[in-house]
Amino acid sequence: MERFGMKKLLMLILAVMMLVSCNDDKSGVPKKEGAKEGAKEGATVIKVNDVNITTGVLQEDLAKLPPNYKSAFAGKDGLLSFVDEIKRREVLYLEAKKQGLDKDPAFAKRLDEFSRLNLVNSLISKNVNTTDIKVTPEEAKDYYDKNPKEFIVPDQIKASHILLKTEEEAKKVLDKVKNGGDFAAIAKENSVDKVSGEKGGDLGFFAKGQLDPTFDEAVFKLKKGEVGPVVKTNFGYHVIKVVDTKASSKMEYEPSKAMIIQYLTSEKQKKAFDEYVSRIEKGYNVQIDQKAMDSFMSKYTGSAPQEKAAATPPDTTPIVKIGEASITAAGIESELLKLPPEVKQFFKGKEGMTKLIEEMKKTELLNLEAKKAGIDKSPEYVAKVEEFKKVNLINTLVRKAFKPEMAQVTPDEVKAYYDNNSKDFTQPGQIKASHILVKTEAEALAAAEKIKKGASFVSVAKTDSIDKMTADKGGDLGFFSKGQMEPSFDDAVFKLKTGEVSAPVKTTFGYHIITVTDIKPPKKVDFDAAKDMINQLLSEQKKNKAFDDYYLGIEKGYSVMVDKKALDEFVIKNTSVKPDQGAAGHGVNVPQGALPEGHPPVGSQGGALPEGHPK
């Protein structure tokens, strides 16, 4: 059987961790212990020392995996790999406890944080019903009408850029542009940002604040048609031209409705949560030491606390007391320092600090209420905590065992792999196409007729296409390979020659008229472009081998038995492949479409495909 090594085990651990963190029983009603145990009955497939792993356990673990992880364990080989990784996980867990990793104070702190969080989540799932909360279209329309400023789209500009590695190169390119050179052609030839370079440097429309701050500041000083001076960012040196502008406008109600409903739903859910916390707070003696609160606030008004010197003793002054529990100054500081910068900014100053302390108070109340309700004694909660311990201890053990030098790869190894696996580095042929997307076949035929009578494809796309992201660019979809688009679109577009226009093509998005504007034949990826990926691949292989060697050494210290008959029954139950049949292997593919280093980030929506886009 193929050894998948550390990568597959860590993937399994990650999948389990996701489930432990997220999958609460939404009913809030603990299952009967007998029922839970019954679900895990069955023949013992693996026995590690005194631990039995039954078909019931395996079936339950397999069923819990998210679809994207479950697919990695499909078929006979996948299922055998899954069982093997479950075995390894148990051995490593026992080894971690043998080495005393469960006694480490840092682990104890992580376990406490996880336990408290899951107690709170379980309590909320049981007592705060958010599934029945609805927002009517009338409520959404009322919100839209009463909050017009929230639906103003800011001014936008459309810009192109040419990215160079050095200032000297950028100045030479700027001179070419200033002396009448075609910006788009120069971008295609010189820009190291190949994604925008292929489109003549086009970055599309964007609002202020979406790009790198230095780039953003420079580009918004330019007028339409103007080329600015060389701009330096973390990506390199840019020559920038503003191509077009869009004035601020108000969003229409219909496109905004779903977003409004989502927002109002979350507000109603928050209100239900706050009302629940207010109810349970009445059952606890909550005391706030205002003097201690004011003293603490005075230290942090206008800023958040910074890391303290190790020698500084923690301030254990209680600020909030809830029965026997308390929230101290040190606890608040610790909570703040754990927050990422983008979240920490919301808790600056007196108002922000008050908000944080209030949230910590709510969490403490919910934790106490969960224990009062006995949630910490429920089989589901106990199982989650045990799974968390297993996952974290294995991760700690693996990190402790592996050193960076185990995965080092030499330049000679990288070059040898490239030379010996040339087929893996051949990029498939690509085409560049444009499309016009409409709702009905009649509209598609009308658009095709306009083109047949002499209208340019670009102009018809701009006026008729409902795919607004590509319509502004004349329907341009850029370059793509076979298999990247929706099947019916893919089948039609790869039958066209350059310049040909298709008949209407139906997809789930609507009807498309397509034209091919350029074709790239298959080509081999240059060694320089492939070497980083090869290095990563070989490094991963070395890690897996080191892990296998490490694991096999550990396994010798444990009594491990596998019942082949029970294993075969598990495989037969979960796949149509018989135990004596093999499964097809998978080749290595060169990743396509990654953004190159140097592309200015375009905010959280920069990589999103537009509605109606066939990709």
**Edge-to-edge strands of the sheet including 560-562?**
51-54, 44-48, 560-562
Q: How far apart are CA 334 and CA 78, in angstroms?
A: 43
pLDDT for residue 584: 33
CA dihedral 193, 475, 212, 158 (to 10 degrees): 110
pLDDT for residue 298: 81
- The arithmetic mean of pLDDT across residues 203-215, rounded, is 91
Same domain (yes/no): 439, 342 = no
- The arithmetic mean of pLDDT across residues 502-518, rounded, is 96
pLDDT by residue (tens digit) across 163-173?
999 999 999 99
Answer yes or no: are the C-beta atoms of 468 and 610 closer than 8 Å: yes
Cβ-count burial of 317 within 10 angstroms (0-12 exposed, 13-18 middle, 19+ buried)? middle
Same domain (yes/no): 170, 242 = yes
pLDDT for residue 311: 55
- The arithmetic mean of pLDDT across residues 313-322, rounded, is 85
Q: How crowded is residue 597: how many other Cβ atoms within 10 Å of its Cβ? A: 11
pLDDT for residue 561: 93
* Structure-token match 């934790």, residue found: 367
User: Residue 422, CB half-sphere, CA atoms under 13 Å: how many?
Assistant: 3
Q: Is residue 25 in some structural domain?
A: no
Same domain (yes/no): 364, 263 = yes
- The residue from 475, 500, 521 where one domain ends is 521
Same domain (yes/no): 230, 267 = no
Higher-pLDDT residue of 575 and 355 is 355
Q: How crowded is residue 248: how many other Cβ atoms within 10 Å of its Cβ? A: 10
- The residue from 341, 372, 403 where one domain ends is 372
Mean pLDDT score across all residues of the chain? 83
pLDDT for residue 25: 44
pLDDT by residue (tens digit) across 539-566?
999 988 998 899 999 999 999 999 999 9
- The residue from 218, 247, 276 where one domain ends is 247
pLDDT for residue 587: 29
pLDDT for residue 576: 57
Same domain (yes/no): 467, 493 = yes
Of 8-22, 326-340, 575-589, minimum mean pLDDT range: 575-589
Same domain (yes/no): 262, 361 = yes
Does the structure show a pLDDT above 90 at 202? yes
Nearest to 174 by CA among 201, 207, 142: 201
Of 243-247, 270-274, 291-295, 508-512, minimum mean pLDDT range: 291-295
Nearest to 116 by CA among 333, 356, 371, 323: 371
Tokens of 90: 């148990």
Of 67-71, 171-175, 400-404, 539-543, minimum mean pLDDT range: 67-71
CATH number at residue 473: 3.10.50.40
Same domain (yes/no): 228, 169 = yes
Same domain (yes/no): 209, 259 = no
Same domain (yes/no): 263, 197 = no
SS3 163: strand
Q: Is residue 88 in some structural domain?
A: no
Tokens of 272: 């239900």
Task: Choose from 15-29, 202-216, 573-587 the range with maximum mean pLDDT.
Answer: 202-216
pLDDT by residue (tens digit) across 449-458?
999 999 999 9
pLDDT by residue (tens digit) across 433-475?
999 999 999 999 999 999 999 999 999 999 999 998 999 999 9
Tokens of 149: 């400023």
Does the structure show a pLDDT above 80 at 289? yes
Q: Is residue 441 in some structural domain?
A: yes
Q: How far apart are CA 41 and CA 59, in angstroms?
A: 10
| pTM of the complete model | 0.59
Same domain (yes/no): 368, 439 = no
Q: Is residue 308 in some structural domain?
A: yes
pLDDT for residue 50: 92
* Structure-token match 């395996």, residue found: 58
* Structure-token match 């444990």, residue found: 558
Same domain (yes/no): 238, 291 = no
Same domain (yes/no): 239, 295 = no
Does the structure show a pLDDT above 50 at 14? no
For β-strands 231-233 and 44-48, DSSP reports them as unpaired
SS3 443: helix
Q: Is residue 606 in some structural domain?
A: no
Higher-pLDDT residue of 93 and 592 is 93
Q: Is residue 91 in some structural domain?
A: no
SS3 231: strand
96 confidence band (pLDDT: 50, 70, 90): very high
Q: Is residue 573 in some structural domain?
A: no
Q: Give the range of the structural domain holding residue 168, as residue numbers without chain letter.
A: 155-247
Q: Is residue 361 in some structural domain?
A: yes
Q: How many domains are there within the chain?
A: 3
Cβ-count burial of 397 within 10 angstroms (0-12 exposed, 13-18 middle, 19+ buried)? buried
- The arithmetic mean of pLDDT across residues 31-48, rounded, is 62
Q: How far apart are CA 133 and CA 271, in angstroms?
A: 11
Does the structure show a pLDDT above 60 at 309? no
